[in-house]
């Protein structure tokens, strides 16, 4: 934390439909990960700014909830059109602060647009059920209503997609929203807020506060915030879940991951190696659904390692906006040190570093490290157990599918898992028995389209409902109405009786 040098533009909060400054002067510098140089600064808010944002959201929530859902959808569709029109600009903002390649950033924008499309159909998601004549002249129906003010706390690795997947659903359901994006990638959120305002969203329905732990705690502890959505690392997710639940809030807290891809002896090994390299090193491994472990079954390992190594060596590391880069830098110098440390430890614990990202030439002074492939990794090693969140793929060798499943299912995380095989029976067995929220069959990163729910098992998610399609349940609460409009009167009946005799 520092006082901003005068030459750096400061990213402001967004409250009541307009930019807002904090009363204090506390800011953090935001480096471009490709150069390590500060490109702008961000205001760091605490309780004061959170109070202002929540008050604005609370004031707007009632009228927004009363706005007919098709009218809310019209605004979301206008927002979608702005995302399409400004997709390239958003991708550039993502790349400048997060570091991923422009092609990958464009993919993130495309998935965000998809989430808005689902949100625009929220009339469907909010529909209830109706049971006629549950007693004489009595019908029962159910529907869902918004919660009021919801808050989202998001990670650095998807500066657009994760926030959009939260707030598009929350707003579509009739809630007001306060977003606390990662302080490392703050600019995209403010641009999204501008697009929402341009699309016709009333002031106060969507607010952005920047900050760190203080802002997060202020949001969780605020009595006017009804629900907390969190996406980030597992230790923080666990703590957010505890604190929110203790405050009596609805909470969903998605955490970290270590995702496995099982390669069966009958798999197309070239397709599997392509998938491993894309899923392990794409976005420099900074995806919660990155594949971090290849589980090589039977005699497939030597060939698989050779094919994967060949591709990893050809994978080009460079600035995200440079032509030909397959992956960009990591988010920080500390992240590079963490990856280096994990590789050093792996060597000491029996791992064989086949492709060594530490040796890759780093372009300039950015936070670069090349792709690494480590064979013969054991499940008790640090490299295997920790979430490294960098471009490192471990290979674990097993004898058969049952052993592969035992390895995958012993992981405390359960975000995603994939299998590559030519066997329908093996893939069905895997899909049925694997402990993970998203499963891939001959697909490297099984992130479902937004029309399905998304969220892991185990330490990858605390709380019940996930994101995307599941979020419509999270951002609403149910009400069940039992009604009678018919005569005759039945008189006073003091006893609790079976429905049919009422």
The residue sitting closest to ligand NAD, measured at its beta carbon, is 232
Q: Is 228 in contact with 33 (CB distance < 8 Å)?
A: no
101 in Cβ contact with 329 (< 8 Å): no
Distances (CA, A) of 47 to 11, 24, 25: 18, 11, 14
Of 435 and 477, CB closest to ligand NAD = 435
Residue nearer to ligand NAD on the CB measure, 76 or 467: 467
Q: Find out whether 164 and 116 touch, Cβ atoms under 8 Å.
A: yes
What is the rounded CA–CA span in Å between residue 51 and residue 393?
44
Alpha carbon 380 to its chain centroid, in Å, reads 28
CB–CB of 188/160 below 8 Å?
yes
Q: Write down the least CB distance from residue 337 to ligand NAD, Å.
A: 14
Cβ proximity to ligand NAD, 114 vs 375, nearer residue:
114
Compare residues 160 and 296 and give the one whose CB is closer to ligand NAD: 160
Instruction: State which residue, 125 or 259, has the beta carbon closest to ligand NAD.
Output: 259
Q: If you write DSSP's letter for every residue of 40-103 in order, what string do you get?
A: EEEE---HHHHHHHHHHHHHHHHHHHHS-HHHHHHHHHHHHHHHHHTHHHHHHHHHHHH---HH
Cβ 469 to ligand NAD, closest distance in Å? Answer: 14
Q: Give 154-191 as a DSSP string.
A: --SS-TTHHHHHHHHHHHHTT-EEEEE--TTS-HHHHH
User: How many CA atoms, within 13 angstroms, populate the side-chain half-sphere of residue 6?
Assistant: 0
Nearer to ligand NAD, 146 or 152 (CB): 152
SS3 content of the chain, % helix, strand, coil (to 5): 40, 25, 35
Cβ 23 vs Cβ 48: under 8 Å: yes
CB of residue 418 to ligand NAD, shortest distance in Å: 16
Nearest Cα neighbor of 216 from 176, 171, 182 is 182
Helix, strand, or coil here: 244?
A: helix
Q: Which is nearer to ligand NAD, 158 or 177 (CB)?
A: 158
State how beta strands 138-146 and 130-135 pair.
antiparallel
Q: How far apart are CA 166 and CA 147, in angstroms?
A: 14
Bridge partners, residue 297, by sequence = 398
Rounded to whole angstroms, how far apart are CA atoms 360 and 177? 43
Q: Which residues make beta-bridge pairs with 355?
A: 373
Least distance CB 92 / ligand NAD (angstroms): 21
Rounded Cα gap, residues 431 and 298, in angstroms: 20
Is the preceding peptide bond at 488 cis, omega within 30 degrees of 0?
yes
User: Do 411 and 388 meet the contact criterion of CB atoms below 8 Å apart?
Assistant: no
288 is catalytic: yes
| Exposed e or buried b per residue across 175-194, where buried means at least 16 C-beta atoms within 10 angstroms of its C-beta | bbbbbbbbbbbbbbbbbbbb
Residue 148 or residue 414: which is nearer to ligand NAD going by CB? 414
How far apart (Å, rounded) are the C-alpha atoms in residues 164 and 120? 13
Local structure of 105: helix, strand or coil: helix
Nearer residue to ligand NAD within complex by CB, 26 or 375: 26
Q: Which of 75, 275, 288, 388 is catalytic?
A: 288
| Cβ proximity to ligand NAD, 287 vs 311, nearer residue | 287
Q: How far is the CB of 323 from ligand NAD (least distance, A)?
A: 27
Min CB(32)–ligand NAD separation in Å: 17
For the bound state, the minimum distance from the C-beta of residue 255 to ligand NAD, rounded and expressed in Å, comes to: 6
CB of 101 to ligand NAD, least distance (A): 18
Binding residues for ligand NAD (CB under 6 A):
153-158, 162, 180, 182-183, 212-213, 216, 231-233, 236, 239, 254-257, 288, 387, 389, 415, 456, 460
Q: Which residues have a catalytic role annotated? A: 288
């Amino acid at each position: 934390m520092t006082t901003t040098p005068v030459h750096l533009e400061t990213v402001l909060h967004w409250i009541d439909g307009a930019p807002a400054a904090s009363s204090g002067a506390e800011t953090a510098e935001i480096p471009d990960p490709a150069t390590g140089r500060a490109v702008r600064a961000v205001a760091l808010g605490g309780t004061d700014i959170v109070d202002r944002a929540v008050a604005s959201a609370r004031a707007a929530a009632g009228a927004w909830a009363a706005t007919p859902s098709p009218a809310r959808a019209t605004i979301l569709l206008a927002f979608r059109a702005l995302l399409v029109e400004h997709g390239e600009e958003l991708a550039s903002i993502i790349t400048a602060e997060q570091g991923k390649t422009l092609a990958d950033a464009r993919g993130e924008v495309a998935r965000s647009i998809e989430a808005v499309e689902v949100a625009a159909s929220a009339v469907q998601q909010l529909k209830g059920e109706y049971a006629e004549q549950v007693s004489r002249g009595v019908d029962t129906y159910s529907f869902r209503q918004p919660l009021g003010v919801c808050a989202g706390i998001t990670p650095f690795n998807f500066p657009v997609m994760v926030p959009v997947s939260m707030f598009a659903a929350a707003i579509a359901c009739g809630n007001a929203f306060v977003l606390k994006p990662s302080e490392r990638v703050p600019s995209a959120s403010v641009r999204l807020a501008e697009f929402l305002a341009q699309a016709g969203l009333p002031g106060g329905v969507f607010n952005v506060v920047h900050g760190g732990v203080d802002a997060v705690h202020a949001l969780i502890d605020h009595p006017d915030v009804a629900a907390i959505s969190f996406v980030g690392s597992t230790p923080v997710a666990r703590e957010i879940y505890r604190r929110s639940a203790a405050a009596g809030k609805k909470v969903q807290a998605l955490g970290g991951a270590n995702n496995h891809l099982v390669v069966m002896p009958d798999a197309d090994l070239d397709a599997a190696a392509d998938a491993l390299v894309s899923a392990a090193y794409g976005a420099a491994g900074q995806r919660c659904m990155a594949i971090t472990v290849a589980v090589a079954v039977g005699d497939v390992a030597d060939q698989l390692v050779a094919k994967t190594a060949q591709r990893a060596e050809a994978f080009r590391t460079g600035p995200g906006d440079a032509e030909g880069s397959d992956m960009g830098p990591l988010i920080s110098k500390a992240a590079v040190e963490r990856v280096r440390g994990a590789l050093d430890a792996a060597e000491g614990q029996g791992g064989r570093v086949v492709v060594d990202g530490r040796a890759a030439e780093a372009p300039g002074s950015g936070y670069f490290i090349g792709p690494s492939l480590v064979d013969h990794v054991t499940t008790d090693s640090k490299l295997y157990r920790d979430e490294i969140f960098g471009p490192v793929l471990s290979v674990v060798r097993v004898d058969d599918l049952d052993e592969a499943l035992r390895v995958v299912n012993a992981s405390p995380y359960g975000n995603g898992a994939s299998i590559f095989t030519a066997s329908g029976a093996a893939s069905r067995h895997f899909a049925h028995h694997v402990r993970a929220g998203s499963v891939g069959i001959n697909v490297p990163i099984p992130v479902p389209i937004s029309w399905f729910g998304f969220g892991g098992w185990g330490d990858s998610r605390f709380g019940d409902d996930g994101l995307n399609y599941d979020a419509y349940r999270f951002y609403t609460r149910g009400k069940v109405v039992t009604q009678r409009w018919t005569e005759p009167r039945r008189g006073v009946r003091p006893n609790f009786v079976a429905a049919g005799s009422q």
